[in-house]
Amino acid sequence: MLLVGGRSMEATVWFLTGNQGKLEEAQLHFAPLGYEIKQLVVPEGALVEPQSASLQDIAISKLEQAKAHLPTPDAMIMVEDSGLFINALDGFPGVYSSYVHDTIGCQGILRLLAHLESEDPVQHKKLRAASYRAVIAMWNGTSMYVGLGECPGSLASEMHEGHGFGYDPIFVPLDLDDFGQPLPAGELGSTSTHGTAFGGVEIDIKHHFSHRRRALENLLEQLP
């Protein structure tokens, strides 16, 4: 049995997601804390994706619906909703990130931002500023907890494929300082992808920056 903050942690959390990339990241983040993450699969069409401009409202609605599919009556369940928010597009695609990725993809986003270029590298990053945001909602059998996380960065001008999923081929995170906090665009930090998009780095590097990890940490801080 593992002790974290004086508490024994030996639990299975059922994660409602069809996205293998999210599942692997959650397993990576939770394993050191003594949680085993298993995928919760519900019948096709069992969940209704609510129409809302808020990641938080969507995550909470999905969690409420998922309660009807608990593997055991006292199971802990978790849902996550995330997206890419592009500053120059007033936050688009945001809650529509999944749909937009399936339709126009990373190449379509690059076309939408094609006019946002600068010779000056710092200005270039500022023009193309964006962030990943994640909301994770968890039901521990008695209460609901909600964690929020953000990963600020910018969008590259070209695709860098190989690792990750979704918009990772074009998303470059801001460097982090010694305390893991994001630095202003153009400042070099002790943790850096050196201008490479997440698509070009291993999952354990992305882990340092991840909005999903931050949301999980924020959630774990709230658990009793």
Of 2-10, 26-34, 76-84, 121-129, the segment contacting ligand IMP by CB under 6 A is 76-84
Separation CA 194–CA 83 (nearest Å) = 23
**Contact call for residue 166 and ligand IMP (CB under 6 A):** yes
- Stretch binding ligand IMP (CB under 6 A), from 34-42, 155-163, 164-172, 181-189: 164-172
CA distances from 180 to 173, 185, 209 (A): 12, 15, 8
d(CA 141, CA 84): 31
With vertex at residue 129, the alpha carbon angle to CA 123 and CA 130, rounded to the nearest 5 degrees, is: 170
Contact between 168 and ligand IMP by CB under 6 A: the answer reads yes
25 vs 175 by CB, closer to ligand IMP: 25
Q: Is 165 in the site for ligand IMP (CB under 6 A)?
A: yes
With tokens 């209460």, the residue in question is 143
Stretch in the footprint of ligand IMP (CB under 6 A) among 62-70, 80-88, 103-111, 115-123: 80-88
Nearer to ligand IMP, 19 or 123 (CB): 19
Q: Report the residue number, 139 or 198, with the smaller CB distance to ligand IMP.
A: 198
Dig out the tokens for 38 from the structure: 């298993």
Measured from the CB atom, the residue of 132 and 145 that comes closer to ligand IMP is: 132
- Determine the residue type at 159: M
> Quick one: which of 128, 95, 126, 122 has its CA closest to 109?
128
> How many residues are given for the chain?
224
| The one-letter amino acid at 145 | Y
Quick check: bond before 32 cis, omega within 30? no
Q: Which residue of 15, 132, 139, 145 would you call a contact of ligand IMP, by CB under 6 A?
A: 132
Contacts of residue 3, defined as CB under 8 A and 6 or more positions apart, other chains included, come to: 9
Q: How far is the CB of 122 from ligand IMP (least distance, A)?
A: 24
Out of 81, 102, 120, 175, which one is annotated catalytic? 81
175 noted as active-site residue: no
Is 164 a binder of ligand IMP (CB under 6 A)? yes
Q: What part of residues 9-68 is at the interface with ligand IMP (CB under 6 A)?
A: 19
75 sits near ligand IMP (criterion: CB under 6 A): no
Relative to beta strand 129-139, strand 76-86 is antiparallel
Binding footprint of ligand IMP on the chain (CB under 6 A): 19, 81-84, 97-98, 101, 132, 164-168
Residues taking part in catalysis: 81
